[in-house]
């Protein structure tokens, strides 16, 4: 499906352009732009794109969801859209309905592991969980004596240590101490933590690819506007060389995603 024919992407881009343009974000010192943006995304059903209709979602295809994440990367949207989409996708694997509001996944690293106790409680520590502070619920992949399970938990029942990544987004540490889940079901046969990590990796790579596309577009426009020594800097061989390298990296990132 061509991007111009993708109504999911078109809807998202209009919302991003209206509510998450650079001037709005840069002039807002209190991050109050995030609430109306999230409300508009939610009303359009975008955070639950990968959740089937019968579980309260939009039932979009994986391809549509990935295109949406690429668009979010182009606009550098600093809200837990990707995280909520991934959480909804994970819950859907176990036929657990997704709640409203922001979500994220636990664990977010292959090195961390959440255990399922005999009484059904969840325990463990997960580092680098994106937007844990902003989330209302966590979608958790846990391991017990009978194999992997997928659970939905109330974020308020977890201990969260705030942290930031290099982009100044939430990258928090989540500790679960015998937390009883809102819902829990066995994971599909053969579903492992590697599957979740790979899905998250693809989602993040598409956001990165989108960000690179925007960097290239901004750089090309600037090079055609900026004048030095009485000519546009786009005419200088060194600038052309670096723009060509950036275009190559952008294309490679999108292809890898």
Taking the model in full, what pTM does it have? Answer: 0.88
82 found inside a domain: no
How many domains does one find in the chain?
Answer: 3
Which CATH number is 231's domain given?
1.20.140.10
User: Measured between alpha carbons, how far is 107 from 171 in angstroms, rounded to an integer?
Assistant: 12
d(CA 149, CA 135): 21
Residue 92 falls inside a structural domain: no
pLDDT in tens, 83-135: 999 999 999 999 999 999 999 999 999 999 999 999 999 999 999 999 999 99
What's the distance, CA 255 to chain centroid? 19
Predicted local confidence at residue 202, as pLDDT:
94
Q: Does residue 2 surpass a pLDDT of 80?
A: no
Higher pLDDT, 174 or 254: 174
Are 35 and 111 within one domain?
no
What is d(CA 178, CA 208) in angstroms, rounded to the nearest whole number?
Answer: 36
**Which residues span the domain enclosing 60?**
1-77
Whole-angstrom distance, CA of residue 86 vs CA of residue 81: 9
Per the domain annotation, does 64 fall within a domain?
yes
């Amino acid at each position: 499906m061509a991007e111009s024919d993708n109504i999911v992407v078109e809807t998202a881009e209009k919302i991003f352009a209206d509510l998450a343009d650079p001037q709005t974000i840069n002039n807002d010192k209190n991050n109050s732009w995030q609430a109306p943006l999230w409300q508009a995304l939610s009303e359009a059903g975008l955070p639950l794109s990968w959740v089937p209709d019968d579980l309260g979602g939009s039932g979009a295809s994986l391809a549509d969801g990935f295109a949406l994440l690429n668009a979010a990367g182009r606009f550098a949207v600093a809200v837990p859209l990707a995280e909520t989409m991934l959480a909804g996708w994970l819950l859907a694997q176990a036929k657990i309905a997704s709640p409203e509001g922001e979500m994220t996944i636990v664990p977010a690293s292959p090195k961390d592991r959440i255990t399922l106790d005999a009484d059904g409680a969840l325990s463990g520590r997960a580092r680098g969980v994106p937007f844990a502070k902003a989330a209302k619920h966590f979608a958790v992949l846990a391991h017990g004596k009978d194999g992997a399970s997928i659970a939905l938990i109330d974020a308020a029942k977890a201990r969260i240590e705030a942290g930031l990544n290099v982009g100044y987004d939430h990258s928090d540490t989540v500790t679960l101490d015998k937390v009883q889940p809102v819902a829990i079901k066995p994971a599909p046969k053969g579903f492992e933590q590697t599957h979740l990590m790979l899905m998250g990796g693809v989602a993040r790579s598409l956001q990165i690819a989108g960000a690179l596309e925007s960097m290239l577009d901004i750089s090309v426009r600037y090079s055609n506007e900026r004048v030095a020594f009485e000519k546009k800097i786009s005419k200088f061989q060194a600038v052309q060389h670096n723009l060509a390298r950036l275009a190559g990296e952008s294309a490679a990132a999108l292809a890898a995603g």
